[in-house]
Amino acid sequence: MTESDLPVVDFHPYRWGDPDRPAELSGAVHEALAAFGVRAPACGPVEPADAALPDIVLTDGARAALEVAVGAEYVRYDREARVGHTRGWSTPDLLRLRSGDASDAPDAVALPGSHEEVVALLGACAEHHVAVVPYSGGTSVVGGLAPARDGFHGVVALDMGRLDAVVAVDEISRTATFQAGMRGVTAEKALRERNLTLGHFPQSYEGASIGGYAAARSAGQSSAGYGRFDDMVVGLTLATPRGTVELGTAPKSAAGPDLRQLVLGSEGALGVITSVTVRVRPAPAVRVFETWRFETFEAGAEALRRLVQDGPVPTVLRLSDEAETSINLADPSALNGGGAGGCLAVTGYEGAAAEVESRRAGATAVLSAAGGAPEGTDGGEAWRTGRFRAPYYRDPLLEAGVLIETLETVTFWSNLHALRAAVTQALTTALTDQGTPPLVLCHISHVYETGASLYFTVACAQAEDPFGQWRTAKTAANDAIRAAGAAITHHHGVGTDHRDTYRQEIGPLAVETLRAAKQALDPTGILNPGVLIAPERPEAGA
Amino acid sequence: MTESDLPVVDFHPYRWGDPDRPAELSGAVHEALAAFGVRAPACGPVEPADAALPDIVLTDGARAALEVAVGAEYVRYDREARVGHTRGWSTPDLLRLRSGDASDAPDAVALPGSHEEVVALLGACAEHHVAVVPYSGGTSVVGGLAPARDGFHGVVALDMGRLDAVVAVDEISRTATFQAGMRGVTAEKALRERNLTLGHFPQSYEGASIGGYAAARSAGQSSAGYGRFDDMVVGLTLATPRGTVELGTAPKSAAGPDLRQLVLGSEGALGVITSVTVRVRPAPAVRVFETWRFETFEAGAEALRRLVQDGPVPTVLRLSDEAETSINLADPSALNGGGAGGCLAVTGYEGAAAEVESRRAGATAVLSAAGGAPEGTDGGEAWRTGRFRAPYYRDPLLEAGVLIETLETVTFWSNLHALRAAVTQALTTALTDQGTPPLVLCHISHVYETGASLYFTVACAQAEDPFGQWRTAKTAANDAIRAAGAAITHHHGVGTDHRDTYRQEIGPLAVETLRAAKQALDPTGILNPGVLIAPERPEAGA
């Protein structure tokens, strides 16, 4: 199965991924968990149909205005729509909804059919002081879909699902323009029909949308070869309560600040992205994925650094640490997928046949010289075909009584090992102190000439209050990341979960600058309030 | 002579480049000009010592505050300092100063010695309502150094010359941090001592500074290989009247908008960049520059597009049109440097020996298949060693009675030929209508996967009012660029000259957003007022 064969998926409200292909734990895993003292929670999850929804607080005037903006048939107030647009898919989000808490549900779900209708909807919400959360795949794992509602007369989820057209493909300039609600899978399918590819495959690929990639500054698993999503974007259309901003006159220019980069990563707080123009590339004729084994994480990291700094650079390049290598994340039921110890790296090459051959030969020489042992293509292919599958296992693990969550960060190469040690230590201490010593796994997920990202997976037995248990651990990890001088997120985004650490990271004057930009575009502050920046105004002098 | 052998140069107030190596026109060129009816102006340029300086309007209080901020010995009020910091080096700038008009001279030149002194100076200027123009190499060609002074009690040029230290080099992460006043040549020399390179060689290389590269979003002649300057920047420190902003926690992240990209290209209007951290690379072991000839510009452009889209990508890649090919810009005295007609492309390769060999072989195959005829390395080497020299000829040409200026733009590949035709037509019509039919030369100076820049050189006989003559032509070119949907500048910047077209390009709501960001960082509007965005406030609804 290749990326473009995958179906577009609407996730179950509290399960990650395709509801038709749920993951199951093997008997051996259940036995192992029992041996570790992990016990399933006393009661199972509350069904979505029984979740406690807040009363709808929209005024009659607001309802009427929404219905005028997008058409009455495209404003939904039913339970299914509201629960289906409640928060995202972080472990805390899942825990809350599983406990029957749907208090963050929007009052209504609106589905505009055009950019103009989005602008009209935002105008209506500004007039009636209704908060707006832009929504597509809903795959946020950082609380990006739970805006503050204090002081607003309700919250509307602006579902971009109807804005899913291919607007234009320029085969000469190799650009494609998509409406923002188009899912990544659909965009990729449309491009493959023209023998093109976007090459953007984040782990949320089965659900996420083009607009979400842009708003959350997404990075895909093939970023070494195809770049991050923010590298791909050449143009954007932004709807705001005050009208439209169109950016991207040229590929690059010296015409002032690059305002595209102000919108990318703005997470719905500055406006609603309604279309995106991206750079596309020829669909790869050939692809080869393989694995390499290094004695230590440090040796493997050094090999990755050499490749990304001096080339040739594979299309995919990642490295698991010893702990992660000992567990095959793509199939945790196999428990001992890692085999012979050490650290496993995945290298992937995509492109024209001759180019792939020469690039692979060059990288092979570098990896061998750096002490890597080649392990052939079986492990690489298994990773490639299973790569969107790992998070599916979170749901049966949660049900079995495991607390499992991921977090990620990024720093410069010279700081990488200190950062890994600090975050591992913080998570281990915070959870051990609660009586639930964790397993902390880590891999390098994305590489740059000057640094790399670290992606952590944390698992332990659930405590009585798993929500509070994780909050304590997450706070410790955030503090460790900040103390190490690294970024609070590499590709998950800020949302509400990272907002306070983000404020420390960029400082009060930068926060005020963002707030000023928001004020210019969204004077009444209705756009995803509390996401990215705190809703209260005074910030200076902090 | 290589890039790192060049001296750092302080330009003569109205001559481009190293005053010790002025360019001269040959007798043949003078004869040719005479044959075309070009006549030298009746009177020569006014000497800087005789230029009309405005009275100093700084209050005693402001003077005292400036002197407290940076030390009395580092505030200059003398004629030489003031004339030496008057405007930049566009042709209109030169024409005005040559005519004895130094009305844009700053009242004082302040030379802070640290980031903290810059912050203190901005605080003093805000308090006394004195406008500030950040100044390093002074090589702006878009009016970026002539802020509006209406409503201010004087203008201070903030000369960054004393902030010229290497702050840090991280050889593991391959980054280097420079104070912003460090000239490009000095930075390159410092890196070469460690066998590293920045690889940034704009035509202003002999004079420009690291901070200027960042503030003006510079692009160097080797951008195909080393990237634009905005690609190189991983961190920035910004001094503002309200304090400090430090950006660049990590190489890349999803922690909100990329605020580095808001500062890059801000041209001193949002703050004063005091240090910059850049990605560096190994100094090249080998370099090969060569020329190729194509029958037509269209054929050559197609070859460049194939290379940059499908690779392998040379380090330097440019293409002159038929008119420019017929004149050797690096040595106009040779008049017929182009030889056999058609269009000349320059390809350059830098790197490790084996890598250069394989990349060059691959590119050679692509260029040959695209109809290019190789012409060996003589022309390429001549271009490489002469490449900073071309603008030196502007001064003797101006003195001989030629009006000569350059401008540049950028668009997507599918729009490139329409853009070239439209700008050429606009310039030709506007100058022919004034009785001075021009020569319009063009080359592709920078290439991207999705598009390319066009760099125009325009020459004609000077009219009685060359300043007004050029303004008419420039306005026609700006309008043509906007009508063609291209960017008003690729690497020269916005300054004051492009401000109105820039406003049309990004639209009123984006201008308001920039203005809001400025207001947050610079509430009294002292920072380079009128540069980038117009000083007046109301913009919406335009």
Separation of alpha carbons B1 and A48, rounded Å: 73
CB B374 within 8 A of CB B367: yes
Residue-wise pLDDT for A88-118, tens only, equals 999 999 999 999 999 999 999 999 999 999 9
Residue B22 has pLDDT above 60, yes or no: yes
* Phi (first) and psi of residue B197, to 5 degrees: -145, 150
CB contact (8 A) between residue A247 and residue B505: no
Q: Extract the tokens encoding A256.
A: 């002032």
Q: Where are the beta strands (DSSP E) in A462-526?
A: none
CB contact (8 A) between residue A255 and residue B412: no
- Where b means 16+ CB within 10 Å and e means fewer, A284-300 reads beebbbbbbbbeebeeb
Q: Extract the tokens encoding A412.
A: 């410069």
In a domain, residue A319? The reply is no
Of B34-43, B251-260, B378-387, least confident by mean pLDDT is B34-43
Q: Could you tell me if B31 lies within 8 Å of chain A, comparing CB atoms?
A: no
Residue A5 has pLDDT above 90, yes or no: no
Q: What is the pLDDT of residue A314?
A: 98
A268 is in an annotated binding site: yes
- Give yes or no: B349 in active site: no
* Phi (first) and psi of residue A244, to 5 degrees: -110, 140
Residue A460 sits in a domain whose CATH number is 3.30.300.330
C-beta neighbour count of B486 within 10 angstroms? 29
Are residues B128 and B231 located together in one domain of the fold?
no
B24 is in an annotated binding site: no
Residue A331 has pLDDT above 70, yes or no: no
Q: Which residues of A touch B451 (CB under 8 A)?
A: 173, 250-251
Q: Which residues of A touch B510 (CB under 8 A)?
A: 245, 247, 259
Window 394-413 of A, Cβ < 8 Å to B? 409-413
Q: What is the pLDDT of residue B541?
A: 39
Name A464's Cβ contacts closer than 8 Å, sequence gap at least 6: none
Query: How far is CA A27 from each of CA A24, A35, A333, A400, rounded to the nearest angstrom?
Result: 9, 12, 8, 12
What pTM does this model have?
Answer: 0.96
DSSP state letter for B527? B
Residue in A270, A279, A450 nearest the CB of B234: A450
In 3D space, the residue among A498, A495, A499, A484 whose CA is nearest the CA of residue A454 turns out to be A484
| 3 state DSSP class of A471 | helix
Q: Choosing from A226, A392, A455, A502, which is the catalytic residue?
A: A455
Q: Radius of gyration (Cα) for chain B, nearest Å?
A: 23
Residue in B249, B265, B485 nearest the CB of A487: B249
Q: How far is A401 from chain B (nearest CA, A)?
A: 31
- Where b means 16+ CB within 10 Å and e means fewer, B234-251 reads bbbbbbbbbbbbebbbbb
Q: Could you tell me if A139 lies within 8 Å of chain B, comparing CB atoms?
A: no
CB A460 within 8 A of CB A438: yes
| 3 state DSSP class of A237 | strand
Are residues A9 and A153 located together in one domain of the fold?
yes
Window 419-448 of A, Cβ < 8 Å to B? 446, 448
Q: A78 or B9: whose pLDDT is higher? A: A78
B501 is in an annotated binding site: no
Average pLDDT of the residues in B434-455 = 98
Q: Which residues of A touch B240 (CB under 8 A)?
A: 509
In a domain, residue B202? The reply is yes
Are residues A62 and A40 located together in one domain of the fold?
yes
Q: Which residues of A touch B256 (CB under 8 A)?
A: 217, 265-267, 494, 502, 506, 514, 532
Q: What is the pLDDT of residue A538?
A: 42
DSSP state letter for B52? B
CB contact (8 A) between residue A250 and residue B411: yes
Last residue of a domain, one of B238, B262, B282: B282
Are residues A508 and A459 located together in one domain of the fold?
no
Q: Where are the beta strands (DSSP E) in A11-125?
A: 75-76, 108-110
Window 239-268 of B, Cβ < 8 Å to A? 240, 242-247, 249-267
Are residues B415 and B504 located together in one domain of the fold?
no
Name A2's Cβ contacts closer than 8 Å, sequence gap at least 6: none
Residue-wise pLDDT for A417-438, tens only, equals 999 999 999 999 999 999 999 9
Q: Extract the tokens encoding A130.
A: 């209704």
How long, in residues, is chain B?
Answer: 542
Separation of alpha carbons B378 and B328, rounded Å: 13
| Residue the block writes with tokens 């005292």 | B64
Average pLDDT of the residues in A30-37 = 89
Q: Could you tell me if A366 lies within 8 Å of chain B, comparing CB atoms?
A: no
How long, in residues, is chain A?
Answer: 542
Q: How far is B451 from chain A (nearest CA, A)?
A: 6
A315 is in an annotated binding site: no
Q: What is the pLDDT of residue A536?
A: 67
CB A104 within 8 A of CB A87: yes
In a domain, residue A467? The reply is yes
DSSP state letter for B216? T
Longest CA–CA separation in chain B, Å? 70
Q: What angle do CA B94, B471, B421 make, to 5 degrees?
A: 115
A137 is in an annotated binding site: yes
Nearest CA in chain A to B517: A513
In a domain, residue B181? The reply is yes
Residue A356 has pLDDT above 50, yes or no: yes
In a domain, residue B28? The reply is yes
Separation of alpha carbons A509 and B302, rounded Å: 47
Strands of B175-179's sheet, edge to edge?
Answer: B166-170, B175-179, B272-279, B233-240, B243-247
Q: Provide, rounded to the nearest whole percent, the portion of chain A with pLDDT above 70.
A: 96
CB A7 within 8 A of CB A206: yes
Are residues B206 and B262 located together in one domain of the fold?
yes
Range of the domain at B527: 500-540
Are residues A446 and A477 located together in one domain of the fold?
yes
Residue B192 has pLDDT above 60, yes or no: yes
CB A258 within 8 A of CB B265: yes
In 3D space, the residue among B337, B263, B257, B338 whose CA is nearest the CA of residue B293 turns out to be B338
Residue in A250, A449, A521 nearest the CB of B509: A521
Q: How far is A399 from chain B (nearest CA, A)?
A: 31
Are residues B270 and B249 located together in one domain of the fold?
yes
A140 is in an annotated binding site: yes
Q: Which residues of B touch A264 (CB under 8 A)?
A: 257-258
Separation of alpha carbons A535 and A538, rounded Å: 9
Q: What is the pLDDT of residue A335?
A: 46
In B487-540, alpha helices (H): 499-506, 508-521
Are residues A147 and A115 located together in one domain of the fold?
yes
- Where b means 16+ CB within 10 Å and e means fewer, A394-426 reads bbbbbebbbbbbbbbbbbbbbbbeebbebbbeb
C-beta neighbour count of B170 within 10 angstroms? 17
- Amino acid of residue B121: L
Q: Which residues of A touch B446 (CB under 8 A)?
A: 252
Q: A278 or B12: whose pLDDT is higher? A: A278
Last residue of a domain, one of B282, B309, B330: B282
C-beta neighbour count of B369 within 10 angstroms? 10
Residue-wise pLDDT for A373-391, tens only, equals 999 999 999 999 999 998 9
Q: What is the pLDDT of residue A521?
A: 98
Residue in B261, B282, B410 nearest the CB of A261: B261
Residue B171 has pLDDT above 60, yes or no: yes
Residue B329 has pLDDT above 80, yes or no: no
Residue A91 sits in a domain whose CATH number is 3.30.43.10
In 3D space, the residue among B238, B316, B224, B242 whose CA is nearest the CA of residue B277 turns out to be B238
Q: Does the complex come out with an ipTM higher than 0.85?
A: yes
Interface test with A, best of B195, B245, B246, B252 (most A CBs within 10 A): B252
Residue B542 has pLDDT above 50, yes or no: no
Residue-wise pLDDT for B486-536, tens only, equals 999 999 999 999 999 999 999 999 999 999 999 999 999 999 999 999 986
Binning pLDDT at 50, 70 and 90, where does residue B62 land? very high
Separation of alpha carbons A158 and A527, rounded Å: 10
| 3 state DSSP class of A514 | helix
Are residues A106 and A170 located together in one domain of the fold?
no
Separation of alpha carbons B12 and B1, rounded Å: 22
Of A9-23, B70-84, B277-291, B479-493, least confident by mean pLDDT is A9-23
CB contact (8 A) between residue B262 and residue A513: yes
Interface test with B, best of A142, A350, A450 (most B CBs within 10 A): A450
In a domain, residue B25? The reply is yes
CB contact (8 A) between residue B243 and residue A173: no
DSSP state letter for B136? S
Q: Which residues pair with B101 in a beta bridge?
A: B52
* Phi (first) and psi of residue A522, to 5 degrees: -140, 70
Q: Which residues of B touch A309 (CB under 8 A)?
A: 174
* Phi (first) and psi of residue B304, to 5 degrees: -65, -40
Q: Extract the tokens encoding A78.
A: 């039913």
Domain count within chain B? 4
Average pLDDT of the residues in B110-138 = 97
Are residues B469 and B506 located together in one domain of the fold?
no
Last residue of a domain, one of B113, B144, B159: B159
| 3 state DSSP class of A419 | helix
CB B366 within 8 A of CB B303: yes
A445 is in an annotated binding site: no
CB contact (8 A) between residue A251 and residue B311: no
Are residues A197 and A61 located together in one domain of the fold?
no
Residue in B253, B279, B410 nearest the CB of A250: B410
Separation of alpha carbons A86 and A93, rounded Å: 9
Nearest CA in chain A to B413: A173
Average pLDDT of the residues in A31-40 = 90
Separation of alpha carbons A535 and A514, rounded Å: 12
Return the number of CB contacts < 8 Å for A and B: 276
Name A195's Cβ contacts closer than 8 Å, sequence gap at least 6: A282, A283
Q: Which residues of A touch B449 (CB under 8 A)?
A: 174, 251, 279, 281
Residue in A219, A228, A261 nearest the CB of B257: A261
Query: How far is CA A230 from each of CA A252, A408, B78, B321, B517, rounded to the nearest angstrom?
Result: 13, 18, 48, 33, 22
In a domain, residue B411? The reply is yes
Strands A108-110, A155-159: pairing kind: parallel
In a domain, residue A354? The reply is no
CB A111 within 8 A of CB A81: no
Average pLDDT of the residues in B200-217 = 96
Separation of alpha carbons B245 and A366, rounded Å: 40
DSSP state letter for B415? G
Separation of alpha carbons B279 and B270, rounded Å: 23
Strands of B75-76's sheet, edge to edge?
Answer: B75-76, B108-110, B155-159, B131-135
Query: How far is CA A264 from each of CA A199, A235, A252, A258, A524, rounded to the nearest angstrom?
Result: 18, 10, 15, 10, 21
| 3 state DSSP class of B413 | helix
Separation of alpha carbons B264 and A165, rounded Å: 34
Q: What angle do CA A185, A186, A191 make, to 5 degrees?
A: 100
Q: How far is A268 from chain B (nearest CA, A)?
A: 11
Q: Which residues of B touch A450 (CB under 8 A)?
A: 173-175, 234, 251, 279
Q: Could you tell me if B183 lies within 8 Å of chain A, comparing CB atoms?
A: no
Bond from prior residue into B312 cis (ω within 30 degrees of 0) = yes
Q: Could you tell me if A486 lies within 8 Å of chain B, comparing CB atoms?
A: yes
Strands A155-159, B373-374: pairing kind: unpaired
Residue B336 has pLDDT above 70, yes or no: no
C-beta neighbour count of B129 within 10 angstroms? 15
CB contact (8 A) between residue B266 and residue A257: yes
**pLDDT, mean over chain A:** 94
